[in-house]
Amino acid sequence: MINVNLPQQPDREALLAFWASASLLIGLVLGVVALLAGVTSSAGSLLLAMGAAGIAFLARRSRERALDQAYKRWNKAAGAYADWARRTVTGIWYWTVFTAVGLTDGGGLKQVDSPWRSRGTLPDRAYGDPGGSTTGRDAVGGIRDFTGWAVRSGRAWTLFLLPMLAILRALDTRGSKSSAPDIYTLY
Amino acid sequence: MSTYVLGISAFYHDSAAALLRDGEIVAAAQEERFTRKKQDPDFPARAVEYCLEAAGIGPEELDVVAFYEKPFVKFERLLDTFSGNAPSGFPMFREALPEWAERKLDLPRVIRTALGDAFRGRIVFAEHHESHAASAFFPSPYEEAAILTLDAVGEWSTSAIGHGRGSRLELTEEQRFPHSLGMLYSAFTYYTGFKVNSGEYKLMGLAPYGRPLYRDKILENVVEIGDDGALRLDMSYFSYLEGVAMTSERFHDLFGAPPRPPESAIGQKEMDLASSIQAVCEEVVLKAADHVQRLTGSKRLVMAGGVALNCVANGRLLREGPFDEIWVQPAAGDAGGALGAALLAWHHMMGEPREVSPQDAQGGSFLGPAYDNESIGLFLDAIGARHHRMDDESELVDRVAEILDSDKVVGWFQGRMEYGPRSLGARSIIGDPRSPEMQRTMNLKIKYRESFRPFAPCVLREHVSEVFCTEPDQDWPYMLFVADVQESLHRSLTDEERSRMEDPDLRVRVSVPRSTLPAITHVDYSARVQTVDRERHGRFHRLMERFHERTGCPVVVNTSFNIRGEPIVCTPDDAFRCFMATDMDCLVLENHVLLKEEQPEGLIVDGEAYRSQFALD
C-alpha cells in the first residue's frame, strides 16, 4: 500500500526520493505536452522528458531550500487530498451501508435496557481471539481475523466495509485526530 | 527460566505498559510520561522499552503480550451505535474509522511491528472490565473480595460486579452501554465547562462549593437509579451517541442554559450542579456496592475503572457502605488495564497461583524509572546548574525540612516514578500546609491553574487519625479516599471570613483559612488523604518525620510535579525545566539539592513559553 502522506520530518533519503519522483513527473508532463502540441515526435518527446527530468533532478542539488518547500507543499496538498478522500470514502459507506443496516435494524442503542444482566468471565481458551470467539485459536492479524469475526458474530454485512477499510488504510492516519474534542473517546 | 508477561493498554486515553516476571510486577508506566503528551493514546512504545529495560530483557524473552480489551467486540459496539444513528453521527464516524482501519482492527500486526521480529511469543486479548477487575483484585492485600468496576465504557460493559478468591476472579453481572455512570459524570463535566476525560476530578473538587439543588431534577429527568445501583439514562438528554457533544439541547433546556464556555467564570449554578451530580454518583456507587455485597457476602471490596478515582465517593463508601475494607487500584483508569491484562494472562490463562501480600503487591505504585546520582550529577554539570550533592541523608532531609519550614516550595524527585494519575512522593511538589499563602502560591505561581481546588495532604501514617477522621493507623497510600479534617483543628471563622465564604469569586472563598492546615482543607473541611509509611516511602517518610520533629506538623502538601496540562515529570531533565519555568524555590533530585536563587540567569526558562507547550486540561 502506498501511503499518501509523506513523513513530516523527512531525512535526506526521503527528500531525494521525493525529488526524483517529482523530476520524473515534470519530465513526463513536459514530454506529453510536447507530443500533444506536435512540437516533437514520440521519440523526441521521450528524449525531452528524460532531459527535463535529468535537469530537474540535478538542479535540486543547488536548491535545497526550494526542495524543502516543494516537499512541504506537496505533503500539504497530499494531506488535503487524503482528508477529502477520507471524508468522501467514509461518507459514501456511512450513508449507504450503515443507513441501510440501520433502517432494517430498528432503533439501535437507545432502546437498550439497563438492569444488571448476567455475564460470565472469559474462558481461558478465549484469550487468543480479539473478538468474542472461544475457538482457542490465536489471532493472526489482517483480513483473516476480520472475516472470521464477521462470520462468527453474525455480521457478515461488515464484509462490505473491507474496501473502505483498505482505502482508509492507504490514505494513512498519521496526524489525523481520533476523536472530537468535546466527546469522551468512545471508539 | 523466568516467564515474562507484558500488558498493554493503548489507543484511547492514557496508554501504558506493565511487565510481570513470574507473576511479580517488575515495571509499569504510562506513555505520556515519556512522550510529554498528556494522556498520549498512541502505542506505548517508550513505556514498553522502559519495562523491558527495567527487567533487563529484550522482546525475544517475552512469552506473552496481553492487550487490555477485545478490539473486535468494541468494533461491534461501534457498528451498532453508528448503524442505529445513521444518517446522523457521521462526524464521529469519519473521525473514528481511519484509526480502526490503520491499527485497531489489526493489533497483532501493530504489536509485532512495534516489538520487532525478535518477539515470538503469544499475543492475547483480555476483556476490558476483566482487566480492570484483575488490576483491582490481584494486587490487593485480600485473599477474597467482592469486585466492582465502574467506568465510561469498555467494549460493551460500563460497570461490572463479581467476586475474587485466590488466583481466580469471576465477573457475574454487568451493565451495558449507553447506560454509564462514567458517561453521566463526563456529561456534567462537559456541561460545567471542564474538559471531558481530564476534568472530572475538577468537577469533584468543585462540588463542596455548592448544594445539591439539582439532584432531584437529575433523578426525575436524566437518570433513573434502581435499588441495586443499576442506572438508566434518558438518552434524549445526551448526544454522545451522535458524536456532536456530550449533552443535547434538551439537557440545556432542562438546566436553563447552554454549557459553560471553558475558562469562563464559574458561577453558583456550576457549583450546585457539581454538588448535585456528585451526590447522584455517590448514590449509585453506594447502591451498587450494597448489591455486590449481598451477592458475594464479602466484607472486602476492590474497585477499579475511571469512576473509582472519585475519592469523595470512595470515602463515603468506606464510612457508610457495607464493607469493612476497600482497596482501589491506584491506576484505576485505562492505564491500569495494562497491568490487569498481564495479571489475567498469568493467573487465568496460564493458571498460575497467586501469593497474597499483606501490604498489597503494588509496591506503593512506584513502578516507573529511577535515576542514579551519578547521571543526575553529570546532567546538572553539563547544563551549568548549581547544585549541592548531599550524600548524608540525615543532612539532606534536615536541609529540606528547614526549607519547607520557611514557607518555600520544593520539587521532590526521588526513586521510582509513580504508576497512575497521582503523585505519591516520588515526583511531587511539596510545601508547608500550615501556611495560609501556600495554596495561592502553589496554584498561581507553580501550577498555573484554577484556584478553587485545595491541595492534597500527605500525612505520616502513625499520626493520621490525629489529623483526619480516620481509623488509627489507616493505610491509604494511594490518595484515593477523602476524609474530614479533625474538628479539633478547625478554626472558628470571624464574621468577615464567613461573608468571604459567600463571595462569588471562588479564589476568595478558598483563601479563608478553615483549619490550622489551610492549604489542604477544602471548604467543607474535607481532604484527599495519602498516608506515608516507612516501608513504602523510605526517604519521603524520613523527610516528613524530620519536618514533624521540627514543626510538630505530621503533614505536608503534596501536589503533582507538573504544571497544568503537562504530564507529571519523568526524568531529571523534565523536573529541572519545570523547576526553572515556575516559582519553585528548591529542587531535590535524589541527593542533589538546587536552590532557585543560585541558578544562573541563562538557565531560567520562560514561563509563558513553557506553558504554551501544553494544552489546557
User: What's residue A59's pLDDT?
Assistant: 73
A127 reaches B (C-beta below 8 A): yes
User: What's residue A112's pLDDT?
Assistant: 66
Cβ–Cβ gap B84/A180 under 8 Å:
no
Cell of A156: 457478515
Q: Is B588 helix (H, G, I), strand (E, B) or coil?
A: strand
- Structure-model confidence comparison of residues B246 and A181, the more confident one: B246
Give the gap in angstroms from C-alpha B538 to the nearest C-alpha of chain A.
39
Q: Is A89 helix (H, G, I), strand (E, B) or coil?
A: helix
B76 reaches A (C-beta below 8 A): yes
A12-21, B265-274, B563-572, B605-614: the lowest-pLDDT one: A12-21
Grade residue A108 by pLDDT with cuts at 50, 70 and 90: low
A143 reaches B (C-beta below 8 A): no
A56-60, B28-32, B108-112, B356-360: the lowest-pLDDT one: A56-60
Q: With a threshold of 0.85, tell me whether the complex ipTM lies above it.
A: no
User: What's residue A4's pLDDT?
Assistant: 62
Cβ–Cβ gap A121/B96 under 8 Å:
no
For residue A1, pLDDT over 50 is answered with: no
Cβ–Cβ gap A184/B83 under 8 Å:
no
> CA-to-CA distance for B478 and A167, rounded, in angstroms?
46
> CA-to-CA distance for B116 and B113, rounded, in angstroms?
5
> CA-to-CA distance for B3 and B240, rounded, in angstroms?
43
Cβ–Cβ gap B101/A185 under 8 Å:
no
Hey, of A97, A109, A173, which one would you mutate to test binding to chain B, going by the most B CBs within 10 A of its CB? A109
User: What's residue B412's pLDDT?
Assistant: 98
**Residues composing chain B:** 617
* Mean pLDDT, range B74-93, rounded to an integer: 87
Q: Which of A120, A169, A184 sits opposite B197 (nearest CB)?
A: A184
B34 reaches A (C-beta below 8 A): no
- Structure-model confidence comparison of residues A32 and B153, the more confident one: B153
Give the gap in angstroms from C-alpha B211 to the nearest C-alpha of chain A.
26
Cβ–Cβ gap A129/B241 under 8 Å:
no
Range among A65-69, A137-141, B459-463, B607-611 with highest mean pLDDT value: B459-463
Cβ–Cβ gap B84/A105 under 8 Å:
yes
User: What's residue A51's pLDDT?
Assistant: 81
Which residues 161-220 of B have a C-beta within 8 angstroms of A? 161-162, 169-179, 182-183, 186, 190, 196-197
Cβ–Cβ gap B83/A173 under 8 Å:
no
Nearest CA in chain A to B113: A141
Residue B5 bridge partners (DSSP):
B20, B64
pLDDT tens, position by position, B299-308 = 999 999 999 9
> CA-to-CA distance for B539 and B311, rounded, in angstroms?
26
Nearest to B430 by CA among B520, B523, B512, B312: B520
> CA-to-CA distance for A96 and A107, rounded, in angstroms?
17
pLDDT tens, position by position, B413-466 = 999 999 999 999 999 999 999 998 898 889 888 888 767 888 999 999 999 999
Average pLDDT in chain B: 95
- Structure-model confidence comparison of residues A10 and A180, the more confident one: A10
Cβ–Cβ gap B125/A179 under 8 Å:
no
In angstroms, the Cα distances linking B569 to B153, B426, B562, B579 are: 29, 10, 6, 10
B384 reaches A (C-beta below 8 A): no
Give the gap in angstroms from C-alpha A13 to the nearest C-alpha of chain B.
22
Q: Residues with Cβ < 8 Å from B279, sequence gap 6 or more?
A: B212, B215
pLDDT tens, position by position, B236-252 = 999 988 877 999 999 99
Burial class (CB in 10 A: 0-12, 13-18, 19+), B594: buried
Which residues 70-89 of A have a C-beta within 8 angstroms of B? 86-87
Q: Counting runs of H as helices and runs of E as strands, what totals does chain B give? A: 23, 21
A166 reaches B (C-beta below 8 A): yes
Grade residue A177 by pLDDT with cuts at 50, 70 and 90: very low
Q: Residues with Cβ < 8 Å from A59, sequence gap 6 or more?
A: none
User: What's residue A37's pLDDT?
Assistant: 85
pLDDT tens, position by position, A113-161 = 668 999 999 998 899 999 988 878 888 888 999 999 999 988 898 998 9
pLDDT tens, position by position, B468-510 = 999 999 999 999 999 999 999 999 999 999 999 889 888 888 8
For residue B294, pLDDT over 90 is answered with: yes
Cβ–Cβ gap A187/B245 under 8 Å:
no
- Structure-model confidence comparison of residues A21 and B61, the more confident one: B61
Grade residue B228 by pLDDT with cuts at 50, 70 and 90: very high
Cβ–Cβ gap A101/B103 under 8 Å:
no
Cβ–Cβ gap A110/B93 under 8 Å:
no
Task: Give me the sheet containing B526-532, strands edge to edge.
Answer: B388-389, B592-595, B586-589, B410-413, B427-431, B555-560, B456-460, B526-532, B481-484
> CA-to-CA distance for B34 and B417, rounded, in angstroms?
11
User: What's residue A176's pLDDT?
Assistant: 47
